[in-house]
Amino acid sequence: MTAPVLEVEGLHVGVVRGPAIVEDVSFSLAAGEVLGVVGESGSGKTTMAVALLGRERPGTRVTRGAVRVMGTEIISLPETERRSLRGKLISYVPQEPATALNPAMRIGAQIRELLRAHAPERNTDEEVAVLLARAGLPGGDRSFRRRFPHQLSGGQQQRVVIAAALAAGPAVVVLDEPTTGLDVATQAVILDEIRRLRAELGVSMVYVSHDLAVVSSISDRVAVMYAGRIVEEGSIGRVLMLPKHPYTYGLLSSVPDHDEPRRLRGIDGVAVGITDRPAGCAFAPRCPQAHPRCSVEAPALEEVSEGHRVSCHFSHLTPQLSREPALALASRSSAAPLLAVTDLTAEHRSAAGRTVAARSVSFAIEPSEAVALVGESGSGKTTIARCVAGLHTQGTGQMMFAGHLLPWGTKRRSRDLRRQIQIVFQNPYDSLNPRRAVGAQVARPAKLLRQLSSAEATREAAAMLERVRLPAAIASRYPDELSGGERQRVAIARALITHPSLLVCDEITSALDVSVQAAVLDLLMELRQTLGLSLLVISHDLGVVASVADRVIVLRDGQIREQGPTWDLLRSPQDVYTELLLLSAPRLAASEPERPPEGATDRQPYLQQ
């Protein structure tokens, strides 16, 4: 039997002079194998992934355990030796490529730096060109190699980082959320490149993600983490079809699927912090099948069938996955639309010239209806949303709201109009004040736009934070003390506290765990039913679109390519571009992932031209 390429035994990572973050993690990886690692924020995925390289995140330390790559034990080595092995034996692809690339260096020079450190005999322009071409980039183009990172798209930046990670020919590559935030077409291209490189180079991979659909499409096995431990591990087909841990069951029940729209069921409660982990099973406080034994005795990770390990005393009680249909979508009525957009043309002007972002776009949203805008990055989705919210004023056309002309720009809108139309942005950190506690930030719109007293606004803010699945104690914290998912829920609570009639959602679930995403989508559906809330949803996740939207508008290059009822459009697209987007979207596979067929990347030129 061939020795594993990567062996991890009893890995513990803790806070310096504090509790453990990762506890007793053990697994192995064969040559050419891909292991997906999934779990909610705070489960220890990234901390574990970084530790595989012999690195420690700020404020943490590896307390014990072993990590062997090609037989070399990394953890026990001095830092200088560990540094020399990073990139050579094992390399890392981070979630945010822009932060991994030096903004002051040209991309070709950055890859040459890596070659100079690990393989000086290959430090040539020709080798750099080969590495970039291998990652699907025009490496032979000298002008491309001389570009700076900010001159590349997000997908191109990510492929540069992948090329850099493969530069020294490592045996293992750790990929940490490499496609989060990318549109579905760009994500598909990146995933195709990863599959191709794996097939050509035989490199092993650890793929960390909260997106189970993506993990199922690229991995051979999956490890599910909760509270710093692996609670279930096995083949993709076995774990996704027959989950045995109630946490895995909850995650899978939360995953939206555009192929099979169904009712999403979030996991009760919130993930425990490292200082709040209870004795016994950490998942017991949220587990629907918990027993008194679970609160005092931590279950071991044991094999329940060949190659399938589970950490649960009562795994035999975990039910089979249900396929409850999604809630019936709203039918079109003869009521006057809440929002009517006619011949909207929006542009961006600068010293360099004028760029048209949306051209002659017309659509309507009825009361309590949800309309989704989908398309690649640069298709005009966000610009249209910002026009509706009054944040973009460079354009022409007419917008009507509740039968009245909607002025361009928030400065020209009344207080009540600003209250009725709220927007939630994709990046909550940029929209939250880092110097104010989150409770005060949620309460502020209620005071300004609903004119509530400070006491009333504070009470409503606490209730709204609870509705978006955040604990009351979070109200006194500041944005930089929260995770990305927690900040996004704060932003959603801040928008909902005004009791809006129309909520503009710009990729609001892209940074959320699937369990939290399910809770947020369920809350939005509830508000639609109880308050008549209308939604304008921007998302690259077609599963989310299928779960929440009544109608879909497909955009490309600022123009509408197709629109219609969600179910009809997803089942029978009439435009070739819509069909290609659907083919690009990952599905929650029920069996082992297949190798991409010949020509699988043929869609690249069309989607990127």
In this prediction, residue 275 carries a pLDDT of 81
* pLDDT tens-digit map of 228-260: 999 999 999 999 889 999 999 999 988 888 877
This prediction has a pTM of 0.80
75 & 114 share domain: no
* pLDDT tens-digit map of 585-604: 887 764 444 433 444 333 33
pLDDT at 8 over 60: yes
Query: Does a structural domain hold residue 353?
Result: yes
Q: Which residues contact 313 (CB under 8 A, 6 or more apart)?
A: 281, 291, 293, 294, 297, 299
What is the three-class DSSP state of 609? coil
Question: What is the sign of the dihedral through the CA atoms of 373, 377, 379 and 381?
Answer: positive
* DSSP assignments along 95-158, one per residue: S-HHHHS-TTS-HHHHHHHHHHHH-GGG-SHHHHHHHHHHTTS-TT-HHHHT--GGGS-HHHHH
Lowest mean pLDDT among 6-10, 347-351, 442-446: 347-351
346 & 281 share domain: no
Structural domain tally of the chain?
A: 3
Query: Does a structural domain hold residue 242?
Result: yes
Q: What is the CATH number of the domain that holds 290?
A: 3.40.50.300
Query: Does a structural domain hold residue 322?
Result: no
144 & 222 share domain: no
Q: What percent of the chain has pLDDT over 90?
A: 51
355 & 278 share domain: no
Query: Does a structural domain hold residue 579?
Result: yes
14 & 109 share domain: no
Q: Under a CB-based contact definition with an 8 Å cutoff, are residues 452 and 490 in contact? A: no
219 & 300 share domain: yes
From the centroid of its chain, how far is CA 219?
17
Nearest 5°: the CA angle 237, 248, 279 is 140
258 & 356 share domain: no
User: Comparing C-alpha atoms, which of 487, 454, 450, 441 is closest to residue 468?
Assistant: 487
Query: Does a structural domain hold residue 1?
Result: no
Structural domain including 286 reads 6-89+173-185+203-317
Please indicate whether residue 486 or residue 33 has the higher confidence score (pLDDT): 33
Helices 454-467 and 438-449 meet at what angle, rounded to 10? Answer: 120
Query: Does a structural domain hold residue 356?
Result: yes
Please indicate whether residue 277 or residue 400 has the higher confidence score (pLDDT): 400
Query: Does a structural domain hold residue 329?
Result: no
Residue 555 pLDDT class (50, 70, 90 cuts) = very high
277 & 421 share domain: no
265 & 403 share domain: no
345 & 453 share domain: yes
User: Comparing C-alpha atoms, which of 567, 548, 492 is closest to residue 370?
Assistant: 548
Last residue of a domain, one of 283, 317, 351: 317
544 & 399 share domain: yes
Distance CA 492, CA 484 (A): 13
Q: Under a CB-based contact definition with an 8 Å cutoff, are residues 43 and 64 in contact? A: no
Nearest 5°: the CA angle 267, 269, 270 is 95
Query: Does a structural domain hold residue 195?
Result: no
Out of 21-30, 183-192, 512-521, the most confident range is 21-30
Pairing state between β 229-235 and 404-405: unpaired
pLDDT at 295 over 60: yes
* DSSP assignments along 63-99, one per residue: EEEEEEETTEE-TTS-HHHHHHHBTTTEEEE-S-HHH
pLDDT at 504 over 70: yes
Last residue of a domain, one of 169, 195, 225: 169
* pLDDT tens-digit map of 373-410: 998 888 899 999 999 999 999 999 999 999 999 999 99
233 & 130 share domain: no
State the alpha helices, DSSP H only, in 403-483: 415-420, 428-431, 438-449, 454-467
